[in-house]
């Protein structure tokens, strides 16, 4: 089985920047990414993090999926199995560091379906405002114990249990265990 390498985004980003008649300085200013980092990305010396790619695509006025598709098209025939090494999986951390979400879903599915590996330290809480109308979340506890609150309903969950709940209300996931809790969180958008 051949391992799939990450897409070479540098050439795609450089071509897009030039097509918009932007200098490295102008793109750095618009995106908040340093000129030296942009240069390294364009020369293929480093691949951008998800946050960096988000900033660049916003500054360039394109969707992340467009950049990935263009990069994919320059690499030839797609393989049947995509293999991503752990360091290419983006992770979001809460400001207090007690919650981390590994983004497991591909960029192409983000409009309708997202899934995450969630790790909550003891006493950690992931609070969310209401998502778009009809959004559901599916939470499966792999280790530890969690408590889900959606609207005013509270549901305790033990290891191996799953809760499916409306996420178009303010909702929260609390770690009620003495140690770390690990879960899979799937967000399903209807709109």
Residue 147 — pLDDT band, cuts 50, 70, 90? very high
Identify the CATH number of the domain in which residue 139 sits. 2.60.120.10
Averaged over 131-153, what is the pLDDT? 94
| C-alpha span between 171 and 157 (Å, rounded) | 15
Give residue 29's domain range: 9-73
From 46, 73, 100, give the residue that closes a domain: 73
Q: Token digits for 3? A: 């391992």
Burial of 90 (0-12, 13-18, 19+ CB in 10 A): middle
What is the number of alpha carbons within 13 Å of residue 116 lying toward its C-beta? Answer: 22
Query: Do residues 91 and 100 make contact, with C-beta atoms less than 8 angstroms apart?
Result: yes
Q: Do 97 and 68 sit in the same domain of this protein?
A: no
Whether the per-residue pLDDT at 1 is higher than 50: the answer is: no
Question: What is the rounded CA–CA span in Å between residue 54 and residue 65?
Answer: 11
Query: Do residues 117 and 168 share a domain?
Result: yes
Amino acid 5: pLDDT? 55
Q: Is residue 55 part of a domain?
A: yes
Task: Give the domain CATH number at 31.
Answer: 1.10.260.40
* pLDDT score, position 2: 47
* In the predicted structure, residue 107 carries a pLDDT above the cut 50: yes
d(CA 90, CA 43): 22
Question: Cβ contacts of residue 135 below 8 Å, gap of 6+?
Answer: 166, 167, 168, 187, 188, 189, 190, 191
Q: How far apart are CA 59 and CA 26, in angstroms?
A: 10
As for how many domains the chain has, the answer is 2
Q: What is the mean pLDDT of the chain?
A: 84
Report the predicted TM-score, pTM, of the whole model to 2 decimal places. Answer: 0.60
The pLDDT value recorded for residue 81 is: 64
DSSP-assigned letters across all residues of 11-32: HHHHHHHHHTT--HHHHHHHH-
Residues 63 and 105 reside in one and the same domain: no
Is there a domain that residue 167 lies in?
yes
């Amino acid at each position: 089985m051949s391992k799939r390498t990450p897409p070479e985004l540098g050439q795609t980003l450089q071509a897009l920047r030039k097509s918009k008649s932007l200098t490295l300085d102008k793109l750095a200013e618009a995106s908040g990414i340093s000129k030296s980092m942009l240069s390294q990305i364009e020369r293929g010396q480093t691949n951008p993090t998800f946050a960096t790619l988000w900033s660049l695509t916003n500054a360039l006025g394109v969707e992340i999926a467009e950049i990935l598709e263009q990069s994919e098209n320059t690499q030839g025939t797609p393989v049947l199995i995509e293999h991503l090494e752990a360091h290419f999986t983006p992770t979001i951390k809460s400001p207090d560091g007690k919650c981390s979400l590994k983004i497991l879903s591909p960029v192409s599915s983000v409009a309708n379906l997202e899934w995450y590996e969630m790790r909550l330290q003891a006493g950690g809480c992931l609070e969310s405002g209401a998502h778009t109308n009809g959004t559901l979340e599916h939470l499966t506890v792999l280790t530890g114990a969690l408590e889900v609150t959606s609207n005013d309903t509270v549901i305790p969950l033990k290891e191996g249990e799953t809760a499916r709940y409306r996420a178009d209300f303010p909702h929260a996931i609390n770690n009620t265990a003495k140690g770390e809790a690990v879960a899979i969180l799937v967000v399903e958008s209807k709109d």
